[in-house]
């Protein structure tokens, strides 16, 4: 666990700062957390939210699909949105395998990054995704194990959002960068394969949920075409939420009826939010 990233973390039990010892993180109150041999630390208290963690199979699919470069334009957009002068780390809440955070860190060599996710399978990958990245298991719906104001930029890519906690960890001069699917995302696959559809009002709902804590600074509708063969199509389905709602045999049958390869639209909205300034007594 990188020393620079340990300085970003907080004890999930009492909120005190954590400090590193060989193989362990510990706070002044004596709470300690072992660092796994894969390099991540588990800061999850109690059981996680039911049904939210990526499985080993979902993580393997994500590694294959993202590793093939299909979402590289999104990585470039996230890197551009994350550039700024605020002090602190880059914190990716719902980071998965750390692929997107690694892309951003490559573009910002002066920064360190922290990948947060509830899936230990994903964080085994994230802990080794970049030499300037640390990784910790936590639940996005609970208080995050991050010191208040420690994040120069908070990334949230196709992931859950707890607005009050996202604001708490964001520096006053920092930013929240959210990437969310637009209604046209994977449009060639959704009806053909019976996948989950994106709510046409999704972006408005995100803005409304964040509004008490963040204001929109900038918005970049990102659209690009991916050329996917049948294996890649199966992989993109397997790595996302539709994996929980599709029958594998029926999915294979439907994919076999598609052109091979197929041009598939990626449609993603990348939004940059400024944090609302803290009240004097906060």
Q: What is the pLDDT of residue 220?
A: 94
Cβ partners under 8 Å of residue 234, min gap 6: 251, 252, 255
Q: Which helix (H) or strand (E) holds 230?
A: helix 230-238
Task: Encode pLDDT of 60-104 as tens digits.
Answer: 999 999 999 999 999 999 999 999 999 999 999 999 999 999 999
Q: Output the six-digit token pair for 128.
A: 């080794």
Cβ partners under 8 Å of residue 222, min gap 6: 73, 74, 77, 266, 267, 268, 269, 270
* C-alpha dihedral, 250 to 199 to 219 to 122, nearest 10°: -40
Q: What is the pLDDT of residue 46?
A: 76
Angle subtended by helix axes 99-107 and 56-67, to nearest 10: 40
Q: What is the mean pLDDT of residues 238-265?
A: 92
Is the pLDDT at 192 greater than 80? The verdict is yes
The lowest-confidence range among 115-119, 158-162, 274-278 is 274-278
Cβ partners under 8 Å of residue 83, min gap 6: 107, 108
Which CATH code of 3.40.50.150, 3.90.1150.10, 3.40.50.300, 3.20.20.70 fits the domain covering 3-275? Answer: 3.40.50.150
pTM: 0.94
pLDDT band at 280 (very low <50, low <70, confident <90, very high): very low
Is the pLDDT at 205 greater than 80? The verdict is yes
Q: What is the pLDDT of residue 48?
A: 58
pLDDT band at 47 (very low <50, low <70, confident <90, very high): low
Give dist(CA 278, CA 282) in Å, integer. 6
Ordered by start, the domain boundaries in the chain are: 3-275
Q: Output the six-digit token pair for 262.
A: 């197929």
Give dist(CA 183, CA 232) in Å, integer. 21
Is the pLDDT at 9 greater than 60? The verdict is yes
Q: What is the pLDDT of residue 114?
A: 98
The β-bridge relationship of strands 89-93 and 151-157 is parallel
Task: Encode pLDDT of 108-157 as tens digits.
Answer: 999 999 999 999 999 999 999 999 999 999 999 999 999 999 999 999 99
């Amino acid at each position: 666990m990188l020393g620079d990233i340990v300085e970003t973390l907080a004890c999930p039990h009492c909120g005190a700062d954590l400090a590193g010892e060989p193989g362990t993180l510990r706070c002044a109150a004596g709470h300690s957390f072992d660092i796994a041999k894969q390099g991540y630390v588990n800061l999850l208290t109690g059981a996680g939210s039911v049904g939210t963690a990526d499985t080993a199979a979902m993580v393997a699919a994500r590694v294959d699909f993202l590793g093939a470069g299909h979402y590289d334009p999104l990585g470039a957009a996230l890197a551009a949105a994350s550039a700024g002068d605020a002090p602190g780390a880059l914190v990716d809440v719902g980071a998965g395998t750390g692929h997107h955070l690694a892309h951003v860190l490559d573009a910002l060599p002066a920064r360190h990054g922290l990948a947060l996710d509830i899936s230990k399978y994903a964080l085994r990958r994230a802990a080794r995704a970049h030499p300037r990245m640390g990784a910790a298991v936590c639940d996005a719906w609970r208080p995050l194990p991050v010191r208040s104001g420690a994040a120069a930029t908070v990334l949230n890519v196709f992931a859950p959002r707890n607005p009050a906690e996202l604001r708490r960890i964001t520096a006053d001069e920092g930013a929240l960068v959210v990437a969310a699917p637009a209604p046209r995302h994977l449009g060639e696959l959704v009806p053909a394969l019976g996948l989950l559809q994106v709510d046409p009002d999704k972006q408005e709902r995100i803005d409304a949920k964040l509004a008490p804590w963040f204001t929109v600074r900038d918005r970049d509708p990102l659209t690009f075409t991916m050329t996917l063969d049948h294996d890649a199509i199966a992989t993109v389905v397997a790595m996302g939420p539709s994996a929980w709602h599709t029958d594998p045999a029926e999915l294979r049958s439907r994919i076999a009826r598609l052109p091979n390869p197929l041009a598939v639209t990626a449609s993603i909205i990348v939004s940059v939010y400024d944090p609302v300034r803290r009240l004097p007594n906060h």
